[in-house]
Amino acid sequence: MRRTLATGLAALVTATALAVTAAAPASAGPGRDRPVRTPSAAQVVAGMQPGWNLGNTLDAVGADETAWGNPRATRELFDAVEDAGFRSVRVPVTFGQRTGPAPDYTVDPALMDRVEEVVDLALDEDLVVLLDVHHDSWMWAHQMPTRHDEVVAQFRATWEQIAERFRDHPRTLLLESLNEPQFAGVDDAAGDVLLDELNRVFHEVVRGSGGGNADRVLVLPTLHTNAGQERLDALAGTIDALDDANLAATVHYYGYWPFSVNVAGGTRFDATALADMTGTFDRVRETFVDQGVPVVLGEYGLLGFDRHTGTIEQGEKLKFFEELGHQARAAGVTTMLWDNGQHLGRTSFAWSDPALFAQISSSWSGRSGVASTDQVFVEPGAATDQTITLQPNGRKFRDLRLDGRQLKKGRDYAISGTALTLHASLLDRLVGDGPTGTRAELFVRYGGGLPWRVEVVAATAPVLQAATGTTADFAVPTAFHGDRLATMEARYADGTNAGPHGWTSYKEYDVTFAPDEDAGRIVLRPAFFAEVTDGAPVTLTFHFWSGRTVTYEVTRTGTEVTGTP
């Protein structure tokens, strides 16, 4: 929806002009010209918060922007993005696939026209736009160590064409040199040197094109857009040397890797995952923000989302996004959510997981209390008191609710500090003798922010059955009985680790195994069997969120697989 009042950077320009006018000396007559300040890079980047990525669209490798399954971007899409509260959009574009040969490296005019059309659609919705050269990083730019002159020539030609096309666009368009830059066959120290050269070429070309590009905010990435201190220091050196007040830095953050993809037992957003996040934002703030260089977190999310958002348990991912929003605000970093189509429906304009989006959007302005879990498993007829640990995040516990009704402290639950104990009598009443599965939803309400949802789940021990199949098609028949699979271990008879990622017994969720509760089975992927020794029995230990474990043995003989409980 187009805003009816000046907003975003337009409002910033207006406010700045008014401030200059107010500060003008009284002797300034009505006809005297008064200067209008251009917003600083820091003000421009701050005005972009929060941001969203038009992922897997113009960056798609294929015939056109629909090649990776998303529809063409429309004005209605950007209207929905703006309505959701976003103030900026990152438009990734892959140019190399539609670029002609040397020496001109001419970008297909039809692509350039479409890129400009999409940029203008977003700008027309009062969204600030960040345009970047995207998958070119691994399609051809990564060859710079062995094809230095050709890569530099193509990079220069690409940016000459982009700069010329957009030189007269408003300051609400920012340009980013290269997405996730990487270089084949060299270490990161050498990669930093190569990236420094490309960033300098980018800066020279864009600034030299004149027009609005003379002082447009330019965004420079670290190598791999990684936030390790050496990578940050290398980019800081480039920015210092360029001595340009209209520069910003960019990194990406997808979390502590074992948690981000659910491997090596990384099922929870625990102290290790938290420390990884805190270290990232501390380094970025100290290296750039505190030195006056604004930072754009050009992409953030969880890597497991590339398959589906269920790779990470719901409560754990909510805690991740709540904390990320808080730390980004504290560090003064602008965030841009990566969305390849798995979050905002490109034609329905509905959020696939409204609770997740509610947590993300709430984190833009304040904190919400969370808890150690959002699941309580109860065995029917054998309910016991269960305690969860509250994480108030500066909020005070208010009450516990069921179906909108306030439960009774003392009778239904007890609260002691951050320990919330659900009494057995309450759990028994909620579960009763009904079917397994979710029986109730409790809501912990804090004195502000979002309530924390806790599912009460009736569950008994899962039962696994024998099966035969092939390495391409094998599944363990499973009666889940209300329980939910968290992770899987795989070991040979001698105790050594089996399957991919041999350094850990805990295998990667969905890549090697995946629960299918509706079909009553646990699928073992071909990727798992591809790295299992022929003829050697493997003991699988399935860990369920209730705390239960169930073992199962599989043996691969050629392409045939047998499995027994």
Q: Does the annotation count 379 as an active-site position? A: no
38: which 2 tokens?
Answer: 């251009």
In whole angstroms, give the CA distance from residue 131 to residue 126: 15
In whole angstroms, give the CA distance from residue 278 to residue 295: 16
- H/E stretch holding 283: helix 271-287
- Is residue 493 within 8 A of residue 539, CB to CB? The reply is yes
Distance of CA 279 to CAs 73, 222, 235, 245, Å?
36, 16, 18, 27
List the catalytic residue out of 65, 299, 316, 379. Answer: 299
List the catalytic residue out of 180, 313, 322, 323. Answer: 180
Amino acid sitting at position 531: E
Environment class of 123 (CB within 10 Å of its CB; exposed 0-12, middle 13-18, buried 19+):
middle
Residues 6+ apart with CB under 8 A from 192: 223, 230, 231, 234
Closest Cα partner for 538 from 495, 484, 482, 481?
495
Concatenate the DSSP letters of all residues of 38-67 into one string.
PPPHHHHHHTT-SEEE-TTSTT-SSSSTTT
In whole angstroms, give the CA distance from residue 424 to residue 71: 51
Please give the backbone phi and psi of residue 357, each rounded to the nearest 5 degrees, phi first. Answer: -65, -35
Closest Cα partner for 43 from 294, 221, 286?
294
DSSP 409: B
What b-and-e string marks burial along 376-406, b requiring 16 or more CB atoms within 10 Å of the CB?
Answer: bbbbbeebeebebebbbbebebebbebeeee
Closest Cα partner for 443 from 403, 503, 500, 487?
403
- H/E stretch holding 164: helix 148-166
DSSP 431: H
In whole angstroms, give the CA distance from residue 43 to residue 217: 10
Closest Cα partner for 561 from 471, 436, 449, 459?
471
Q: Does the annotation count 204 as an active-site position? A: no
Length of the chain (residues): 565
Q: Are strands 549-557 and 560-564 parallel, antiparallel or unpaired?
A: antiparallel
Which residues are tagged catalytic? 180, 299
